[in-house]
Chain A
Amino acid sequence: MSGTVAHLNTGPTAEVGLEREEHFTTDGQQIHAAKFGLWCWLLTELLLFAGLFLTALVLRIMHPQAVTEVAKHLKFWIGATNTAVLIVSSFTMSGAIELSRLGWQRGMVRCMLATAALGSLFLVLKGYEYYEDWDEHMMPFLSSRPYVLTQDPSSRLFTDLYYITTGLHGLHLLTGVSILLVMTWMASRPGFLGRRQNRIEIFGLYWHFIDLIWIIVFPVLYVLNR
């Protein structure tokens, strides 16, 4: 990685590189630290979700029937579309990274905007899905809307886990889109790539990770036992 950045300094439109911070001795050290730090963060994020995944899986094994009933009520097609939307957004983000390495600032900004748009699309679809759930009386925590499924506790626990997991993922996506928009604004200013190209790469990792989490959420909640 450090190699690519170093010898692509004569990109077509903008200079690419990074400004070394005072406490690092080499560029390589700074790049390594940033990447490694983000990987550590992603590990903690994975563990944050892992407790939820594990509980959901145990529930499936112990109470297959109850879980199947809930799974049938989940909006498979919205989930599947959202999976596709996020995968495409990962592509556009990769595009942004590739273009940033080449110094094509304009193309990079466009790719980033596309990524943000896809992320928002996901959130809109998710919101619609929640609305449908509400409509179908699939929200056991709302006392005003009697829960449609049997009062079987394990189906209820699974439904609750569904909201917590997708809600937490949605929150991550919302944060991701916000950061992405701020970053796009900063990255569109002249000279950005010469000093901060590194940040695009780092953010890209985070974005792919949100995508990855969804790729686990989707089968665990929507697909298995269906």
Chain B
Amino acid sequence: MSPSDLVLGRVSEGVREPHPGRTTIDREPDYLHDEHTLRSWLGSTDHKRIGILYLLSITFFFIIGACAAGLIRLSLVVPNGQIFSNDTYNKLFTIHGVVMVWFFLIPSIPATFGNFIMPIMIGAKDVAFPRLNRTSWYIFMTGAFFTLFTVVVGGVDTGWTFYAPFSTTFSNTWVVPALIGVIVVGFSSILTGLNFIVTIHTMRAPGMTWFRMPIFVWTMYATSLIFLLATPVITIALILLVMERAFHIGVFDPALGGDPVLFEHLFWFYSHPAVYIMVLPGMGVISEIVPAFAQKKLFGYRFVAYASIGLASLTFFVWGHHMFVNGESETSAVVFSVLSFAVAVPSAVKVYNWTATIYKGSLKLDTPMLYAMGYIGLFVVGGLTGLFLATLAVDEHVHDTYFVVAHFHYIMVGGTALAFLGGLHYWWPKFTGRMYPEALGRLSAFFIFIGFNTTFFPQFLLGYLGMPRRYHNYPPEFQLLNILSSAGSVVLALGYLFPMFYLTWSLRYGKRAPANPWNAKGLEWTTSSPPPKHNFETPPTVDFEPYDYIAREDRV
């Protein structure tokens, strides 16, 4: 069987022609117009179509997670927890965390842009294992729906971290099905990571050497390494949870001979690296956008590439900073603290390099660039507060308070989600062949930036003043800051709704996009928008350096 046999439902020539009766451009149909049936999408092995399937799916999950977040913020408007019962509140923040982390943030950039753009960037016709790629999407959807099903039947109240022994012994909710869903989704991550690593190793076009790869490809590589090396550990940890809860094979419950701290070790050995699954791809996107909109070579290309691999490696050695207050020995606490500080170095390298790229560039403040600049600002705040938390004495004070909540939202929502939206606008013309309305795009970026800061900055203060996380009632003196935060979340929600509408609108009414609307460099801009089925009319050969924008001095 060749892959073309596998593309189900080949249709007749008449249906292939999008506008019968009209004269059409004499061109091979692009990947969007190759075939039109639902089957041709659901059975497709084309990495571009699979990227689009992921885009639709994670948008769906994002909406669900966002609704839960809205309800959480609604509940916290009053201090006495009158809006939802304790139980409902617990289920709300759990489903918010589970959906956002496992089904939105982790697959967001890798599975959508990684799938769509990465193979084009290296000049490949497809990923190395197209059918496996399709299978990964099906696995992802199966697992995610399995977990969502638990919400319909009654919900889960463990929080996204599933800490034992609460999850194994005390919770009376649907923990096992939720866990199974998350385990299944993990396999999809592993397979995607595997596919990307093999693709980057074996499918590069002639002349595409390692140091000619765009930074986005480097970050996909680093992210895939984490997928491959860390996911199996969370898989086994969650399997052990299922074993204990379902069959009483005790591993974590002390009453059954287990050790709950073991779960924390296994969990954070994955989940700290996982935060870099969320943040590295964002860095990759920013490293594409910034040079394109400064029309300048990325400053210190090699350092940015090394920093990606550096982050991916260091991130495996800091998990203990989540356990400072659980009785960890003083020595290990100090070691983990120092190592966590070390992570700041490669992170800072990236920020300096973006800043240096912007410096004296000919800036165009289009939507993707606005998102990118917002990203840099929020990432810096999130990263610096990470250093606060890595400081033993400070963490003692703010552990499990809203300070931590604010910290990781600055990184994950501020960072990853902004990078995601920036990338979505940047590559939208490539994905769809249409331009979006620029003015609305800029407006959405402003709304998100303002809304985001109004929502999460007060949470630093709340946490510092002592409001613990995961409670639905709090002392009345915290109400003002909570109302501010909830109000911000309304603005933020508007900022997210905007792009959903105008991007959908642009599918039909947007201007037709040229091959390279941003005058950007990189192979993806040398093929048509949208690209043909196998990405390039003629297979490319690479004889240029990455980001070879003309230096400012040489411009007339």
Contact A33 B129 (CB under 8 A): yes
B236 touches A32 (CB 8 A): no
Mark the stretch among B154-162, B208-216, B251-259 that contacts chain A: B251-259
A141 & B247 in contact (Cβ 8 Å cutoff): yes
> Taking the nearest CB of chain B, how far is it from the CB of A61, in angstroms?
14
Selected from A22, A29, A33, A157, the residue in CB contact (under 8 A) with B3 is: A22
For the complex, what is the distance from the CA of A49 to the CA of B233, rounded to whole Å?
A: 8
Cross-chain contact B243 with A48 (CB below 8 angstroms) = no
Q: Judging by beta carbons under 8 Å apart, are B257 and A164 in contact?
A: no
Interchain pairs with CB closer than 8 A, number: 108
Contact between B202 and A32 (Cβ–Cβ < 8 Å)? yes
Q: How far is the CA of A106 from the CA of B329 in the complex (A)?
A: 62
* B56 cross-chain contacts in A, Cβ below 8 A: none
Selecting from A35-43, A119-127, A208-216, the interface stretch reads A35-43
A161 with B251: CB separation less than 8 A: yes
Q: Tell me, rounded to whole Å, the shortest Cβ–Cβ distance linking B224 to chain A.
A: 9
Report yes or no: A160 in contact with B249, Cβ–Cβ below 8 A.
Answer: yes
Chain B residues 221-239 with CB under 8 Å of chain A are 228-229, 231-233, 235-237, 239
Q: How many residues on the B side are at the interface (Cβ–Cβ under 8 A)?
A: 44
Q: How large is the interface on A (under 10, 10 to 19, 20 to 34, 35 or more residues)?
A: 35 or more
CB-defined contacts of A41 to chain B, threshold 8 Å: 190, 194
User: Digit string of A119-143 for contact with B (CB within 8 Å is 1, else 0)?
Assistant: 0000000000000000000001101
A19 at the interface (CB under 8 A from B): yes
Collect the chain B residues with CB atoms within 8 Å of residue A21's CB: 2-3
User: Which residues of B lie under 8 Å from residue A190 when comparing CB positions?
Assistant: none
B125 touches A22 (CB 8 A): yes
Q: Is the CB of A51 within 8 A of B128?
A: no
1/0 contact string of A33-64 vs chain B (CB within 8 Å): 10011001101110111111001000000000
Taking a contact as CB atoms under 8 Å apart, the answer to whether B232 and A157 are in contact is no
Contacting pair B236 A48 (CB below 8 A): yes
Cβ-defined contact, B125 with A164, below 8 A? no
Instruction: Evaluate contact between B232 and A164: CB separation under 8 angstroms.
Output: no
Give the docked Cα–Cα distance between A68 and B494 (Å): 63
The yes or no answer to A184 lying at the interface (CB within 8 A) is no
The B contact surface, by secondary structure, is: helix
Question: Considering only CB atoms, which chain A residue lies closest to B199 in the complex?
Answer: A33
Q: How far is the CB of B96 from chain A (nearest CB, A)?
A: 28
A183 to B262 Cα, complex, angstroms: 40
Report whether A19 and B2 are in contact in the complex, using a CB–CB cutoff of 8 Å: yes
Cβ of B55 under 8 Å from chain A: no
Residue among A47, A143, A155 with the highest chain B CB neighbour number at 10 A: A47
Check: A153 CB closer than 8 A to any chain B CB: yes
- In angstroms, Cα B233 to Cα A21, docked, is 33
Contact B197 A40 (CB under 8 A): yes
At the interface, yes or no: A83 with Cβ under 8 Å from chain B? Answer: no
Contact with B along A51-86 (1 / 0, CB 8 A): 110010000000000000000000000000000000
Considering the complex, which residues of chain A in the window 141-175 have a beta carbon less than 8 Å from any beta carbon of chain B?
141, 143, 152-157, 160-161, 163-164, 168
Let me know if B126 is at the binding interface, CB within 8 A: yes
Q: From residue A79, how far is it (CB to closest CB) to chain B in Å?
A: 20
B121 at the interface (CB under 8 A from A): no
Beta-carbon contact of A140 and B257 below 8 Å: yes
> Are the C-beta atoms of A164 and B130 separated by less than 8 Å?
no
A44 pairs with B248, CB closer than 8 A: no
A and B contact pairs by CB, cutoff 8 A, 20 listed: A22-B3, A22-B4, A22-B126, A22-B534, A23-B534, A29-B203, A33-B128, A33-B201, A37-B132, A37-B198, A40-B197, A47-B229, A48-B233, A51-B237, A143-B248, A156-B250, A157-B257, A157-B259, A160-B258, A164-B240
Q: A40-B194, A51-B237 are in contact. List 11 more A-B contacts (CB 8 A).
A: A22-B2, A33-B198, A36-B197, A48-B236, A51-B232, A55-B262, A140-B250, A156-B257, A157-B251, A160-B243, A164-B243
